Amino acid sequence: MLDTRTVNYLELIGNGKRFRVPPFQRDYSWSEEQWEDLWNDVIELRSKAEDRHYMGAIVAQGVSDRDLMIIDGQQRMATLSILALAIIDKLGALAEAGAEPEANVERAKELRNRFIGEKDPASLIEHSRLLLNENDNGFYQDYLVQLRAPLNPRGLSRSNRLLWDCFRYLRQRLDHLSGFETNGENIAKLLSETAARQLLFILIRVDDELNAYTVFETLNARGLELTTTDLLKNYLFSRVRTGSDLDALQRRWAAIISTVSAERFPEFLRYHILCEQPKVRSQRLFKLVRDRVKAPADVFALLGALEARAELFAALSDPDHGYWAEPEDGARRYIRDLNLFRVRQMTPVLFAAWEKLSREDFLRVLKLVSVISFRYSVVSALNTNELEPAYHQAAKSLLSGSAKTPREVYARLQSIYVDDAKFHSDFTLWTTSGSGQRDKKLTKYILARLEADASGRPCDPDTDPASIEHVLPENPLEEWSASIPREKWGPMAYRLCNLTLLEPSLNREVGNRSYSEKLLAYASSRYALAKQIPELAPERWNTELIEERQRRLASRAVILWRSDFA
């Protein structure tokens, strides 16, 4: 990318820039719902001169210093241009009706030069600032830009008719705008001040078509994260006025983004606010910040608080982060587990525990949330909506001083700690899907914990060479139907009780052979879980024995994944 910056509409369309929609880009498609939204946004802004409204990102490919190709944003650009034309037409109508004729003609001329097109001083040919695609540009240039009504609107193509209907819709709204009927100055300000200076865009200018569409796809895939970050940045910078403060803000903002990444910044900010305020929705982040941050001092206070937590936030997603460099304290294992479980809701309480507790007590809280997450999310698969309120309360208690120990944190989290009876019951039914890298890692993690418990030796799921063996094979031979009905093969093959860790060489050797042949490999294995199978089922492997093994594993799991405070 050549440049990414926040600009208002006047900066976007001014400075001699010309925007062209690629000939193959889709036709104009906005309808009354979108026109109404834009109109209402502009009208609401006109009485709030200090407010700004974010219009999203414009992705443009630089063709020359002056010419840009619009990759994403043509609908907004075209509609704003039509709004400008409707205002210019309204001023012309006022002049013809005798309302300040000279002033309104001059206003219309200046607005046209600024927002629609300008004459080349040498050739005196008017150059439009916006060129639409091959299906729409002829109608836009020959009718809308010239403020000419088409002779047969019904004969227009769908997109041309939408362009014309948009002009008529906005023109009618101007005619019925209370207090603006004959006030040319206020009508002109609706474009020159409100729309021009209070509508904001993120202009992303790229240097070639490949980069343009890469950015375009990224915005569509992750629009919320990227655009929210840019919007928040723009607002915070708008609160700071002096040059030295802006320089400091730029440095500190860049450092935070470098640590947490622009993509994850909204998530980071949301969890930061959740330490003090419950029910923070992603869609409300900007409003929350706007309500809290008014003055430069507020901006720097927020940045200071974020700086204090940014490194920990990054570390919570990285088991190899320097924060967890002491392997003997177990922190790296818990961070790895939480990332494997794909849970983030505990972040506020970890922020608070890091700030208020000793390293030893922080690790006890870290272990606690790992156990809670495994019981609640992985095994019992309960509604995750209950997690954030509980973690918010625990975080707030730590920060306020009403909770001072890990045990008191546990007391605030008991509502989301699955009790032993339910956990045992749910664990007896736990099944892996057998597909996907994450699911395989999760299955090996569980088996490795059970293996370490059974053997008394460490078993790291990330480094141990064992593979996952299916006692009842994934593709059984017909002889297996003598002990397990065919209709139960699919479900039973992926039950945890049908799985064990086994040396890769033995696993390849036994494959989908008969149970009697597998027993020999299990008996010779160094893995305790494998050795237990011949002891439990010396002759055959059937549904009753499979269920019995899972009950036994569940009983051990209750102990292995239990809070120190339960």
| CA pair distance 328, 325, nearest whole angstrom | 9
Residue 131 main-chain phi, psi, to 5 deg = -120, 125
Q: Locate all alpha helices (DSSP H) within 46-122, ordered by sequence.
A: 74-96, 101-111
**Three-class DSSP category at 57:** strand
Best CA proximity match to 57, nearest among 215, 237, 209: 215
Predicted pLDDT of residue 229: 75
Best CA proximity match to 385, nearest among 263, 528, 260, 279: 279
End-to-end CA, the chain: 54
- Residues 365-370: contacts with CB under 8 Å, at least 24 apart: 365/406, 365/409, 366/331, 366/334, 366/335, 367/330, 367/334, 367/564, 368/406, 368/409, 368/410, 368/413, 368/563, 368/564, 368/565, 369/338, 369/413, 370/334, 370/337, 370/338, 370/341
Predicted pLDDT of residue 156: 94
Predicted pLDDT of residue 199: 94
Query: Are residues 191 and 84 in contact, defined by beta-carbon separation less than 8 angstroms?
Result: yes
Best CA proximity match to 541, nearest among 528, 527, 522: 522
Query: Are residues 369 and 323 in contact, defined by beta-carbon separation less than 8 angstroms?
Result: no
Give pLDDT < 70 ranges for the chain: 1-2, 24, 119-126, 208-228, 230-231, 234
Best CA proximity match to 226, nearest among 237, 213, 212, 215: 215
| CA pair distance 149, 146, nearest whole angstrom | 9
User: 């907004």: which residue's tokens?
Assistant: 76
Predicted pLDDT of residue 112: 94
Sequence-ordered list of residues with C-beta below 8 angstroms from that of 27, at least 6 positions apart, any chain:
133, 135, 136, 157, 158, 159
Best CA proximity match to 281, nearest among 224, 238, 328: 224
Predicted pLDDT of residue 195: 95
| CA pair distance 343, 387, nearest whole angstrom | 10
- Residues 182-185: contacts with CB under 8 Å, at least 24 apart: 182/94, 182/97, 182/99, 184/91, 184/94, 184/95, 184/99, 184/100, 184/103, 184/104, 184/107, 185/103, 185/107
Predicted pLDDT of residue 565: 94
| CA pair distance 449, 427, nearest whole angstrom | 14
330-368 burial string, b = 16+ CB within 10 Å, else e?
ebbbbbbbbebbebbbbbbbbbbbbebbeeebbbbbbbb
Query: Are residues 115 and 129 in contact, defined by beta-carbon separation less than 8 angstroms?
Result: yes
| CA pair distance 60, 80, nearest whole angstrom | 17
| CA pair distance 399, 392, nearest whole angstrom | 11
| CA pair distance 170, 241, nearest whole angstrom | 36
Domain ranges of the chain: 3-221, 227-315, 322-418, 427-560
What are 393's two structure tokens? 């309360």
